[in-house]
Copies of this chain bind each other. A is one copy, B any other.
Amino acid sequence: VLNVYASIDLGGTKIAGALATADGQVLAQRVIPTESHAGPQAVLARIAGLVEGLAAEIDVRPHALGMGVPGLADLQTGVVKFLPNLPTQWREVPAGAVLAQALDCPVRLLNDVRMATLGELVYGGGRGTDGAPVPGALVFYALGTGIGGGIALDGRLYLGPMGASAEFGHMTIVPHGPLCVCGSRGCLEIYAGGPAITGQGVRLLLAGQTTCLYDLVEGRPERVNPAAMAKAAAMGDERVRAVLVEACTYLGISVANTILTLHPRLVVLGGSVAEIGPLLLDTVRAEVAWRVGMFSAADIAIEPSRLGNRAGLWGGIALAAGIGI
């Protein structure tokens, strides 16, 4: 009999679920809408139903469930503290206890980006050739609408109190920069978050300063996004390329600061904004190369995510199986 674990990645609009073995063999998976307007109890019932459905599909019950939530959760107590992108009822919700009772198995909760970091550690770039996490530190940047992060040290996820560490998106990059939603100014997210990059693209488009991007999106601002901008830049749209390089330069400064702090072995860049691709990686690597002068950064790998948007789901399997945590 296989040891099967369940993983749930709870998002504002979608819930992804999977059953897998601890060595990473996926046995069943499915994505359903969150329907968050119905409130926490209904969403938790949907999650339990999703796991039950997957278990019925393969006729094996999971030993444990690992779940990532888009906000703050207490790993010790399984209580969801606060989910900024879901309705306000998600405060002090004992999601772990509710699901453990419904599914009759242990349930562990984690912030979704920290869970994705765990996925990268155990099943992604952090996995050595022998299958075990390689020593040293791993840093994960989740580049999306917001910029989140995670840290793993010597094969174990680093959490800090409440699992709230590694908030790279709110590092100050420009001391007197614009106000951020977090209350500070000049945060990385303001310069390198998805909306920031898209906003620059829309600005160029509306100002009539784009060439290839205009053609690609047929002049429609709602079609602009970082991936389309990267495509336009590769086709020769120099102004679009310049704003991408600038955003990635700010990201590179943050990565350099994190490297100076933790001297990691590996930095993984994931999330939808990482779809910018080589221009993002090259710019970040170049910035790190000249900004990190206190020790050699030559052997610090800066790589795209191997797991893509499945990093969270994989991390949930490791979380449920108690690997790397």
Binding site for B on A (CB under 8 A): 72, 136-137, 149, 151, 153, 158, 160-162, 164-168, 170-175, 180, 182-185, 249-250, 253, 256-258, 260-265, 290-295
Contacts and interface: CB of A to CB of B under 8 A. Distances in A.
B172 A175 contact: no
A134 to B, nearest CB: 12
Contacts of A256: 172, 184
B167 A295 contact: yes
Given A161-B136, A173-B175, A294 B250 contact: no
Nearest to A258: B261
Given A168-B261, A171-B260, A174-B174, 14 more contacts: A136-B161, A164-B263, A164-B295, A166-B261, A167-B295, A170-B260, A170-B292, A172-B173, A173-B175, A175-B253, A180-B293, A182-B294, A183-B290, A184-B292
A290 B172 CA distance: 11
A202 B265 CA distance: 42
B175 A174 contact: yes
Contacts of A161: 136, 263, 265, 295
30 contacts: A136-B160, A137-B160, A160-B262, A160-B263, A160-B264, A161-B263, A161-B265, A162-B263, A162-B295, A164-B263, A164-B294, A165-B260, A165-B262, A166-B261, A167-B295, A168-B261, A170-B260, A170-B291, A170-B293, A170-B294, A171-B260, A171-B261, A172-B173, A172-B253, A172-B256, A175-B249, A184-B292, A184-B293, A257-B257, A261-B262
